[in-house]
Chain A
Amino acid sequence: MINNMELTSLTLKEALEGLENKKFSSVELVKSHISRIKKFNKKINAFVTICEEEALKQAREADKLIAKKAKNALLGIPIALKDNWVTKGVKSTAASKVLDNYVPQYDATAIVRLKAAGAIIIGKTNLDAWGHGSSGEHSDYGNTLNPWDYSRVTGGSSSGSGAAVSAGMALVGTGTDTGGSIRQPAAFCNVVGLKPTYGRVSRYGIIAMASSTDSIGHLTKTVWDSARVLSVTAGFDPMDATTGKNEVPDYEEILRGKISGLKIGIPKEYFGKGTDEIVADACHKALKVLEDLGCKLVNISLPHTKYAYPVYAVIQTSEVSSNLLRYDGVRYGNERKMFGDEAKRRIMMGTHSLSSGYADKYYHQSLKGRTLIIRDFMEAYKKVDVIACPVWPFLPFKFDERAIDPLKMYLSDVFTAPANVSGNPSLSVPAGFSRDKLPIGIQFMGPNYSEDLLYKVAYAYEQETKWYLEKPKLKE
């Protein structure tokens, strides 16, 4: 048997191979991850619920199947679910006290698919309550600490999943990305985060934040791992009228393809002032790697970028104000006064934006702006295959550094929200570290349903750089 430390540092691909070759069992794999959670979660606070017993039961079942040489995409693999993913029989709080004791009666479609692929749920991860936040500081169950530097934020809102994967507590962490909530913690935690095309993965059973921009994705250690999970979760769902009927390509096959000749767009609006030099430098270095691999770098402009965040803010808060109405105190046990400050802020802004007399000025105006932003991207994709830019304009920051001024915090979303407004996919991959060993991420955006292309570019880059091999040194 291999020791715990080694098992928790495996990638998904390595773990699947190890299970298949009987190097270790699923029970061993699950146990090692749970013991790591038990050891470090008190400090890091990545998990709000741990499903130890059920996970071990599932692991024993998986081992029986593996013994019979059964094959399945994620057989015996411990995964962690963001707590706004609704799990049958397991408390699902969205990290809000409003749903403190809420135990759902059904599984989200994506969970049904993950379970059917043999995945084992080891726990539910922390988040900014309802997905409202980009730092992880708005959870009603406490902050999640960045495994790379406990004094700093993980990024959010999928803070727990980012920290869990980064800290070796789970092989996969699921997330939701409404304005950057998967890519941001991925970039701050040195992991890969996918925000798929809107409608690529079913939203059924995901506690809605902003219905028209919610994208259901995941955080993994590598690009291949991400592709494997998407091949399980992606595809049309009769329970979600906004899912596309597009076929799910063989991502794992495509990602090994050649990238020479691909045109990569560099939007000037994402590299201007406001972007820390160290972040811009890391991205330029990454682009140089791709250029050396035969890609053509093309300077482009996305002229309406400056409107993307305001457009996003109005649409998102409007939809938030509507989606949170069902928590009216009649059911779920807790009153609306239990909402945290951030939810209250968004409910007020959204309600105002939709009110008669103001809707034309805010909500309807934003819909027009949204069309312009979609057009920006469509024009760009006539010239280039993918667009590359930073995920964040700055490095992981300290707790409370930005929380004092909500407006400053909202500006964290300027580089990520555009893809949510347009619906396009975006993949965040590690792009190195600062001198203080703080992770930096780069994102690759593409036209709708181009996840395969994004994987191909990111995989080629990852094979050259292998930033994922760097692990945080955890303290108890």
Chain B
Amino acid sequence: MNKYKPVIGLEIHVELKTKSKMFCGCPAVFFGKKPNTQTCPVCLGLPGALPVPNRKAIDWTILIGKALNCKINEVSKFDRKHYFYPDLPKGYQISQYDEPIAIDGSLKLKIKNEKLKIEEKTFRITRVHLEEDTGKLLHVGADTLVDFNRSGVPLVEVVTEPDFDNADDVKRFLEELQVIIRYLGVSDADMEKGSMRLEPNISVRKLEVGSWELEERKKPQTSNHKPQTFLPKYKVEVKNINSFRFVKQAIEYEVERQIGILEKGETPMQETRGFDDKKGITYGQRSKEEAHDYRYFPEPDIPPMTFSKKYIEGIEVPELPNQKVERYLKLGLRYSNAFTLTRNKKLNDLFEETTSKIKVQDKIQVTDIANLLINKREFANLSSEELYRKLKELKSPKQFDEKLLDTTINQLIGVNKKAVEDYKKGKENAIMFLVGQVMGEMKGKADAKTVISKLKAQMSNPNLKSKN
């Protein structure tokens, strides 16, 4: 059957929504702003200008690292990563190389498997580091213009181990990461706007023991060469996937393409490929031979950073969506409802606020709130007060109008003798006529099931004699 297994690792960039940029005081929000209106000597990389790091951005990177169960390095530093591109004003990007802020994390996800059973998968996080975004090139006719508004915006890079073997899991992981980032309140994490970007590294491995795998096994085992992780000798990095819609498409296309090459007995080339969303295909951009030597070295303009244990502990992670799901399950919610209620922070806030209003005498359950919010999406726009009032109203008929219901039933039984007789003779349908009458009198403020049972009880009452 399927003799190939995709091996996929992810590099995800998230733009932080700090007030100011990473290394200067310019505003970090640039979307829709007139080109080059949010710049200064620092983010333009002018002669003599120096970077001063943004503490908030560093704290938020620590926060993301903690949310992804990483170890936070007590000593961290910035490095220069050199390459030429017209949108990079200094000729190097200030990034982090060998001492990133966070390392060795993981994200556990509940994922439906092929048999539609929910299983838990763990995806390892290699590192989370902080860097600066570049400017943007605008191609106008034959000219290329540079807009530096985005230059120097704080950018967090999350790198995973190659723990993915299908596009669905990648999509699920990305969605979870997006929700986590939004819960942390550190970014809009919007793929369409570019504040979240995915670059998967894709390769495909033959499942049957192929020749190269045997070769690998013959090699001596060293600490950084573990036999259980047989990674293919090449990998392909895919860029320009700028929408959730294209994540699956790009990965599946690339996997198919590589299988095609492997089928011919060849090894795909190590390269960087772009994704063309109009054609739905990937195309070659840069081969291994053209790969950069980034010549990393410690950024001399920024002293190394040290974080005390106390400082790291002081940066607190709020309850995250997957933790909320666990808690909701304990409260009696169905998994699918618990999941849905944690996908959107606004919806979740409404849910949490409304549940906090529950009073015992109101006989409202957490599940009532969940069901209402999920089944009637229009209620999601209400305030928690309005939503709670609505719930109380919906619950109220059973409690407050019981006496009215009893009187109504008695009255109607007295009036509709024929129907009562028919029912007593065994015409089951006759009761439906009576239900209709009762509901009409009650103006719908009664539960049909209750009405039926009350009617039945009343009509089988031996004290009730036909006055005929």
- Whether the pair B48, A318 counts as a contact (CB closer than 8 A) is no
Q: Does chain B have a CB within 8 A of A355?
A: yes
Known: A239-B50, A239-B52, A241-B53. A326 touches B303 (CB 8 A): no
Binds B, one of A44-52, A99-107, A392-400: A99-107
Instruction: Determine the distance from Cα of A355 to Cα of B357 in the docked complex, in whole angstroms.
Output: 63
A69 to chain B, nearest CB (A): 36
Point out the residues of chain B lying under 8 angstroms from A238, CB to CB: 52
Known: A359-B295, A359-B297, A363-B297. A325 touches B48 (CB 8 A): no
Q: Does chain A have a CB within 8 A of B414?
A: no
Instruction: Determine the distance from Cα of A104 to Cα of B46 in the docked complex, in whole angstroms.
Output: 8
- Whether the pair A328, B84 counts as a contact (CB closer than 8 A) is yes
Interface residues of A in 354-394 (CB under 8 A from B): 354-356, 359, 363
> What DSSP secondary structure best describes chain A's contact surface?
loop
- Whether the pair B90, A326 counts as a contact (CB closer than 8 A) is yes
Q: Does chain B have a CB within 8 A of A205?
A: yes
Instruction: Determine the distance from Cα of A319 to Cα of B80 in the docked complex, in whole angstroms.
Output: 10
Instruction: Determine the distance from Cα of A355 to Cα of B301 in the docked complex, in whole angstroms.
Output: 20
- Whether the pair A326, B45 counts as a contact (CB closer than 8 A) is yes
> What DSSP secondary structure best describes chain B's contact surface?
loop
The number of chain A residues touching the other chain, given as a range, is: 35 or more
Please encode chain B, from 32 to 54, with 1 for each CB lying within 8 Å of some chain A CB and 0 for all others.
00000000010001111111110
B325 to chain A, nearest CB (A): 42
Point out the residues of chain B lying under 8 angstroms from A129, CB to CB: none
- Across the A-B interface, how many residue pairs have beta carbons closer than 8 Å? 88
Q: Does chain B have a CB within 8 A of A242?
A: yes
Contact check: which of A92, A319, A355 meets B300 at CB < 8 Å?
A319
Instruction: Determine the distance from Cα of A31 to Cα of B387 in the docked complex, in whole angstroms.
Output: 81
Q: Does chain B have a CB within 8 A of A212?
A: yes
Known: A241-B301, A242-B301, A326-B91. A208 touches B48 (CB 8 A): yes
- Whether the pair B295, A241 counts as a contact (CB closer than 8 A) is no
- Whether the pair B90, A325 counts as a contact (CB closer than 8 A) is yes
Point out the residues of chain B lying under 8 angstroms from A359, CB to CB: 295, 297
- Whether the pair A205, B48 counts as a contact (CB closer than 8 A) is yes
Closest partner residue, chain B, to A107 (CB atom): B48
Q: Does chain A have a CB within 8 A of B428?
A: no
Instruction: Determine the distance from Cα of A238 to Cα of B25 in the docked complex, in whole angstroms.
Output: 11
Q: Does chain A have a CB within 8 A of B248?
A: no
Q: Does chain B have a CB within 8 A of A108?
A: yes
Point out the residues of chain B lying under 8 angstroms from A325, CB to CB: 82, 84, 90-92
Known: A241-B303, A322-B92. A355 touches B50 (CB 8 A): no
Q: Taking each of B48, B296, B300, B301, which has the highest tally of chain A beta carbons within 10 Å of its own beta carbon?
A: B48
Please encode chain A, from 324 to 353, with 1 for each CB lying within 8 Å of some chain B CB and 0 for all others.
011010110000000000000000000100
- Whether the pair B48, A354 counts as a contact (CB closer than 8 A) is no
Point out the residues of chain A lying under 8 angstroms from B300, CB to CB: 210-212, 242, 319
Please encode chain A, from 444 to 464, with 1 for each CB lying within 8 Å of some chain B CB and 0 for all others.
000000000000000000000
Instruction: Determine the distance from Cα of A206 to Cα of B46 in the docked complex, in whole angstroms.
Output: 10
Point out the residues of chain B lying under 8 angstroms from A241, CB to CB: 50-53, 301-303
Please encode chain B, from 74 to 100, with 1 for each CB lying within 8 Å of some chain A CB and 0 for all others.
000000101010100111100000000
Instruction: Determine the distance from Cα of A113 to Cα of B189 in the docked complex, in whole angstroms.
Output: 42
Please encode chain A, from 95 to 124, with 1 for each CB lying within 8 Å of some chain B CB and 0 for all others.
000010010111010000000000000000
Point out the residues of chain B lying under 8 angstroms from A242, CB to CB: 50, 300-303
Point out the residues of chain A lying under 8 angstroms from B86, CB to CB: 328, 330
- Whether the pair A322, B80 counts as a contact (CB closer than 8 A) is yes
Closest partner residue, chain B, to A86 (CB atom): B48
Q: Does chain B have a CB within 8 A of A204?
A: yes
Instruction: Determine the distance from Cα of A331 to Cα of B45 in the docked complex, in whole angstroms.
Output: 11
Q: Does chain A have a CB within 8 A of B215?
A: no
- Whether the pair B47, A99 counts as a contact (CB closer than 8 A) is yes
Instruction: Determine the distance from Cα of A351 to Cα of B301 in the docked complex, in whole angstroms.
Output: 18
- Whether the pair A105, B41 counts as a contact (CB closer than 8 A) is yes
Point out the residues of chain B lying under 8 angstroms from A322, CB to CB: 80, 82, 91-92, 295, 297
Q: Does chain A have a CB within 8 A of B114?
A: no
The number of chain B residues touching the other chain, given as a range, is: 20 to 34
Instruction: Determine the distance from Cα of A325 to Cα of B47 in the docked complex, in whole angstroms.
Output: 11
Please encode chain A, from 177 to 207, with 1 for each CB lying within 8 Å of some chain B CB and 0 for all others.
0000000000000000000000000011111
Closest partner residue, chain B, to A363 (CB atom): B297
- Whether the pair B47, A326 counts as a contact (CB closer than 8 A) is yes
Q: Does chain A have a CB within 8 A of B293?
A: yes
Instruction: Determine the distance from Cα of A424 to Cα of B91 in the docked complex, in whole angstroms.
Output: 30
Please encode chain A, from 208 to 244, with 1 for each CB lying within 8 Å of some chain B CB and 0 for all others.
1011100000000000000000000000001111100
Instruction: Determine the distance from Cα of A238 to Cα of B293 in the docked complex, in whole angstroms.
Output: 33
Closest partner residue, chain A, to B294 (CB atom): A356
Known: A241-B50, A330-B86. A211 touches B301 (CB 8 A): yes
Please encode chain B, from 410 to 438, with 1 for each CB lying within 8 Å of some chain A CB and 0 for all others.
00000000000000000000000000000
Instruction: Determine the distance from Cα of A210 to Cα of B302 in the docked complex, in whole angstroms.
Output: 13
Q: Does chain B have a CB within 8 A of A94?
A: yes
Instruction: Determine the distance from Cα of A203 to Cα of B50 in the docked complex, in whole angstroms.
Output: 8
Point out the residues of chain A lying under 8 angstroms from B41, CB to CB: 104-106, 205
Q: Taking each of A106, A239, A318, A363, which has the highest tally of chain B beta carbons within 10 Å of its own beta carbon?
A: A239
Point out the residues of chain B lying under 8 angstroms from A355, CB to CB: 293, 295
Interface residues of A in 296-340 (CB under 8 A from B): 318-319, 321-322, 325-326, 328, 330-331
Instruction: Determine the distance from Cα of A67 to Cα of B77 in the docked complex, in whole angstroms.
Output: 52
- Whether the pair B48, A207 counts as a contact (CB closer than 8 A) is yes
Please encode chain A, from 58 to 99, with 1 for each CB lying within 8 Å of some chain B CB and 0 for all others.
000000000000000000000000000010000010100001
- Whether the pair A318, B297 counts as a contact (CB closer than 8 A) is yes
Instruction: Determine the distance from Cα of A325 to Cα of B80 in the docked complex, in whole angstroms.
Output: 12
Point out the residues of chain A lying under 8 angstroms from B92, CB to CB: 322, 325
Point out the residues of chain A lying under 8 angstroms from B82, CB to CB: 322, 325, 354
Point out the residues of chain A lying under 8 angstroms from B91, CB to CB: 322, 325-326, 328
Known: A354-B297, A359-B295. A240 touches B50 (CB 8 A): yes
Instruction: Determine the distance from Cα of A330 to Cα of B90 in the docked complex, in whole angstroms.
Output: 11
Instruction: Determine the distance from Cα of A328 to Cα of B47 in the docked complex, in whole angstroms.
Output: 12
Point out the residues of chain A lying under 8 angstroms from B45, CB to CB: 326
Instruction: Determine the distance from Cα of A238 to Cα of B50 in the docked complex, in whole angstroms.
Output: 10
Point out the residues of chain B lying under 8 angstroms from A108, CB to CB: 48
- Whether the pair B89, A326 counts as a contact (CB closer than 8 A) is yes
Known: A106-B41, A242-B301. A204 touches B49 (CB 8 A): yes
Closest partner residue, chain A, to B292 (CB atom): A356
Interface residues of B in 225-270 (CB under 8 A from A): none
Point out the residues of chain B lying under 8 angstroms from A331, CB to CB: 89
Interface residues of B in 271-312 (CB under 8 A from A): 293, 295-297, 300-303
- Whether the pair A204, B84 counts as a contact (CB closer than 8 A) is no
Closest partner residue, chain A, to B87 (CB atom): A330
Closest partner residue, chain A, to B51 (CB atom): A241
Known: A239-B52, A326-B89. A92 touches B47 (CB 8 A): yes
Contact check: which of A99, A240, A321, A328 meets B52 at CB < 8 Å?
A240
Instruction: Determine the distance from Cα of A319 to Cα of B51 in the docked complex, in whole angstroms.
Output: 15
A164 to chain B, nearest CB (A): 21
Chain B residues with a Cβ under 8 A of chain A: 41, 45-53, 80, 82, 84, 86, 89-92, 146, 293, 295-297, 300-303
Which 10 pairs, one residue from A and one from B, show the smallest C-beta to C-beta distance?
A325-B91, A212-B300, A211-B300, A354-B295, A86-B48, A205-B48, A207-B47, A241-B52, A326-B90, A326-B91
> With contacts A325-B82, A328-B91 known, what are 11 further pairs, Cβ within 8 A?
A104-B41, A204-B48, A212-B300, A242-B300, A319-B300, A322-B80, A322-B297, A326-B45, A326-B90, A331-B89, A351-B295
Interchain Cβ contacts under 8 Å between A and B, 8 examples: A105-B46, A108-B48, A322-B91, A328-B91, A330-B146, A354-B296, A356-B293, A356-B295
